[in-house]
Structure 1
Amino acid sequence: MIEKQKKREDRPERAVLVGLITPSQNKEKVTEYLNELQFLVETAGGVAVHRFVQKLNYPNPQTYVGSGKLEEIFQYVKAENIDMVVFDDELGPSQLRNLEKALECKILDRTNLILDIFARRAQTAHAKVQVELAQYQYLLPRLTRMWTHLERQRGGIGLRGPGETEIETDRRIIRDKIALLKKRLKEIDKQKATQRKNRGKLVRVALVGYTNVGKSTIMNLLSKSNILAENKLFATLDTTVRKVVIENLPFLLSDTVGFIRKLPTGLIESFKSTLDEVRESDILIHVADISHPEFEDHIQTVRQTLTEIGAGDKDIIMVFNKIDALREKERQTDESSGQGLSLKELEATWMSRENQPCIFISAKTKENYPEFKKLLYDHIRAVHAVRYPYNNFLY
């Protein structure tokens, strides 16, 4: 028994994914959501080995899926030694409890998985408090289920509890913790606000975009710094601010946490001060991964989130990144396409017409990077000229 347990701990946790086709979510959309869910599982250190999809008018209020599909999932979990079943939508407390009882394994939903990744990524005291607050808010209505789960099995994806302490069963204690964390977060927010005021009147630019589109790579290029940039979701969690100079013009550049569809509302609220960096910026650089098949949806998700946080009316430069990856995909799917779309051809597409100002670049190969710097310089200079009308002789 001990050897079997040790073997399970030595290998990545095996997961099956579950999604629903509904009147508002067709098969193609579900496939794309599950692809993203698989990436989340891999980012958390697990491996997705199978998917289950069912067509329903709405999720079953008791078990999310129907009884027949639930039995099918149970048989697969039992036969294939599956560690966890991950559902693409947020599950209610009773759904979690019923599913855990029926499937006899760990049950996670998308929200719990994202919280787990954020807990892994948080480095600073600020980010840790933000994540811990969101975790407790998620945990409060699910307290009974989580306690019995932690009694039986500790560690692993989705069970990285707030801090390293056991989760108390007393709801009052949890509420007290939430109140304390909110108070601590307010104090940190005040410090952050003071820091932003102390940066003077320099023009402020923020990188925004869907997660894993190359924001940190662009940040490293512009600021000549070495911020973590890897092919994982939420590689950047803590906002990084650098002073950058293009030609004779200094400005502040910040790299912010990436957005994602179905982002837990608790996380948005917890990361309010991080998003303040976006709200208080003069210019936003909206980065999109043009090689991703669903980049249009990603752009809409980011725009919707910006509107929700009160930053939808900012001066925005649209940057279509990863044109090298786009061309590589074209070569793989159509051998006759030669070198793929040229910059002139990309600039003649609807993407360019409907997203002005915009530019197409590869942060990885630095293609069209000088032109991107020039575009950014012109926008910063325009803001600077309004802010300092008597310093225009510098230009």
Structure 2
Amino acid sequence: MRHTWRWFGPVDKVTVTDALQAGVHGIVSALHHVPTGQAWTVEGIRQRQDEIRAGGLEWEVVESVPVSEDIKTQSGDWRDHVANWQESLRRLSQCGIRTVCYNFMPILDWTRTDLRWETRQQARAMRFELTDFVAFDIHILKRPGAAEDYPEALRSEAARRFADMPDARIAELGRNIGAGLPGSADGYSLDQLLAKLRSYQGIDPARLRGNLVDFLSEVTPVAEEVGINICAHPDDPPWPLLGLPRILSTRDDYAHMLGQVDSRANGMTLCSGSLGARHDNDLPAIAREFADRIHFVHLRNVTRDTDTVPCSFFEDEHLAGGTDMVEVIAALLAEEKRRRDEGRTDHEIPMRPDHGQEILDDLTRGAQPGYPAIGRLKGLAELRGIEAALTHPARGLFA
């Protein structure tokens, strides 16, 4: 696999040189400062490329070109935003970039109640605590109709939790849950979040799926034309939140999306952590079934408190948690071998060690939550070890 590393630009406290020393092959980045819906400029893309080259690496994967809420709801300036998304693909191709990740999550990107939760080893990890989230939804955000979305036992537990919740924790939940895309300046106050939620009234899962297919029907031909693979990231966590539909949470969701727009250029970002938060997602099986359409991989692991949907979970060490990482990597290596045998130029699948626990000097660095230096380096080393064992000339399966 092609080992990559996410970098949030010059503001990132983990540098490109840090990534180079970690031994990665390339960088995953984006133009986080460009307002959602606007086309990226060639000048802006090349400036980011120059910033990355100054650290000794190349910009290889875009994560993400954001999809606007207008596109997701097919309202406002959505047609102009689609045209701008298409133009961004053309300009990225002109600059030599061939892989673009995006997501179709309504309003919120990945959602956590805790950004630096303490593990039993005294590391810091991101966590989704279901009771706290329900307390936020019903008692802090006060979303109309929120209580109807949860069973009585969970509502009662959330009410007790909220009654004992300090003001500092209430404010923290608002900040954590209302955050925007990682690396962006987006984010919502409680009033802004409620207003955004109202914009989705009347949009059920079927309609949102239709809007996704309409979007892909417009942008995939451009991706084919300019030689770019686009790849949809799964919902995180993979279930409805705040009454919003989520439509890329399961194997069936991806089968629908990939079948409706059946082009190799239209693919998936296999995120083992996002999909792994559901006990009913078999990650090795998903990797094998959709192998030909996997264009980008995020490898991380989560430990679920319960095998229910939804559930509480935290981001565990890369080889801990509920996902069999050896089997997932074996499926990806088998696909790479198949592509090489076919003579495909995209036989090497870009992978990044996704997220990571804050350990050692990470605890004082203050990097983007989920993106520490040493925690990701540790994860990459573990994942690289699995890959080396499976591809060893004497004992490997995919040499």
Band the TM-score falls in, shorter-chain normalisation: under 0.3
User: Greater relative contact order: 1 or 2 (C-alpha under 8 angstroms, separation 6 or more)?
Assistant: 2
TM, length-normalised to structure 1: 0.28
More helix by share: 1
